[in-house]
């Protein structure tokens, strides 16, 4: 029997890669993309009831750009925290009809941690570096508590720094690409946090890790990353065809994952 998989955020950059990866790995799987506004419980319940029996739910939908969350914090909490609660409430209601319980993979973020000068482990303290991180941590905590009380299998993945050519808006990659298009190579390239270390994982690689974890029996929290940190300056240089005369601005901080547990579960991260 083919797996029936429900995906929120399937239309986003990461979601599109996740759907492609799933169809490559499981050609016979049935993918059901969420069409509901997760901030609306009735709409979410109707969508899940219409989806039929589900084996797996991959929850990617979120308000992600840090600037957008800062500009509208109420919406940030409504989508990232309350939306997760609504999803689980609606899923429980739908399962009363189907009698079939789905496993949940919830995609969270490395922003739930505080910056440290060493790779961050899953059991390190959470002290969000951004308001976005605070909204995702609240969603995480709700999902973990609800799934524990109801006996639902849950894997929480904490994705650190993802990038993709299709990204737009205020994400780091498109911001740097816009600046590089207008930059005069004879002048310094101002770069805030140039010495900050991050783990820049491509969206395709992130989707591969997410899908493999979703299809495994792994539970609990798992950091996602390449295990090969770069400075922001090195990442910026990788996007340029000419050497950058980088002029560091601001203060640096490091936010990179310890991916030991990820390796233990998946083995080779490139499979």
Judge whether 195 lies within some domain. no
Helices 203-215 and 13-25: crossing angle in degrees, nearest 10, is 50
Judge whether 208 lies within some domain. yes
- Label each residue of 105-170 as H, E or C: EEEEEHHHECCCCCCECCCCCECCCCHHHHHHHHHHHHHHHHHHHHCCCEEEEEECEEECCCCCCC
> Does pTM top 0.85 for this prediction?
yes
Q: What is the pLDDT of residues 196-229, one digit of tens each?
A: 999 999 999 999 999 999 999 999 999 999 999 9
Judge whether 40 lies within some domain. yes
Q: What is the pLDDT of residues 60-82, one digit of tens each?
A: 999 988 889 999 999 999 999 99
Pick the catalytic residue from 6, 113, 132, 171.
Answer: 132
User: Per the structure, how many domains does the chain have?
Assistant: 1
Q: Which residues contact 181 (CB under 8 A, 6 or more apart)?
A: none
Tokens 């109801």, located at residue: 150
Q: What is the pLDDT of residues 91-135, one digit of tens each?
A: 999 999 888 899 999 999 999 999 999 999 999 999 998 999 999
Q: What is the pLDDT of residues 153-188, one digit of tens each?
A: 999 999 999 999 999 998 999 999 999 999 999 999
Asked if 123 and 223 count as a contact pair (C-beta separation under 8 A), the reply is: no
Q: H or E segment at 232?
A: helix 232-238
Judge whether 98 lies within some domain. yes
Judge whether 239 lies within some domain. no
Task: Print the domain residue range for 157.
Answer: 4-163+200-227+255-266
**What CATH number did the domain enclosing 94 receive?**
3.40.50.720
**Averaged pLDDT of the chain:** 96
For position 1, what pLDDT does the model report? 57
Judge whether 80 lies within some domain. yes
Does the annotation mark 132 as catalytic?
Answer: yes
Judge whether 172 lies within some domain. no
Question: How far is C-alpha 20 from the geometric centre of its chain's CA atoms?
Answer: 16
């Amino acid at each position: 029997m083919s797996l029936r998989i429900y995906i929120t955020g399937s239309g986003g950059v990461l979601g599109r890669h996740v759907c492609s990866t799933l169809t490559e790995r499981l050609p016979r799987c049935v993918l059901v993309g969420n069409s509901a506004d997760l901030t609306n419980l009735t709409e979410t319940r109707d969508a899940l009831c219409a989806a039929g029996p589900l084996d797996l739910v991959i929850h990617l939908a979120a308000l992600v750009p840090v600037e957008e969350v800062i500009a509208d914090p109420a919406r940030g909490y409504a989508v990232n925290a309350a939306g997760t609660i609504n999803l689980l409430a609606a899923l429980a209601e739908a399962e009363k009809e189907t009698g079939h319980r789905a496993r949940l993979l919830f995609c969270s973020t490395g922003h739930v941690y505080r910056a440290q000068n060493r790779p961050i482990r899953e059991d390190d303290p959470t002290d969000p570096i951004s308001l976005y991180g605070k909204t995702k941590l609240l969603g995480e905590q709700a999902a973990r508590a609800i799934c524990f009380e109801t006996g639902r299998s849950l894997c929480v993945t904490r994705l650190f720094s993802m990038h993709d050519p299709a990204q737009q808006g205020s994400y780091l990659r498109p911001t740097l690409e816009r600046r590089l298009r207008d930059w005069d190579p004879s002048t310094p390239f101002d770069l805030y946090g140039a010495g900050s270390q991050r783990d820049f994982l491509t969206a395709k690689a992130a989707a591969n890790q997410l899908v493999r974890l979703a299809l495994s029996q792994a539970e609990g929290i798992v950091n996602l990353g390449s295990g090969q940190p770069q400075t922001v300056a090195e990442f910026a240089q990788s996007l340029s065809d000419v050497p950058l005369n980088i002029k560091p601005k601001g203060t640096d901080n490091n936010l990179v994952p310890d991916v030991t547990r990820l390796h233990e579960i998946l083995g080779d991260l490139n499979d």
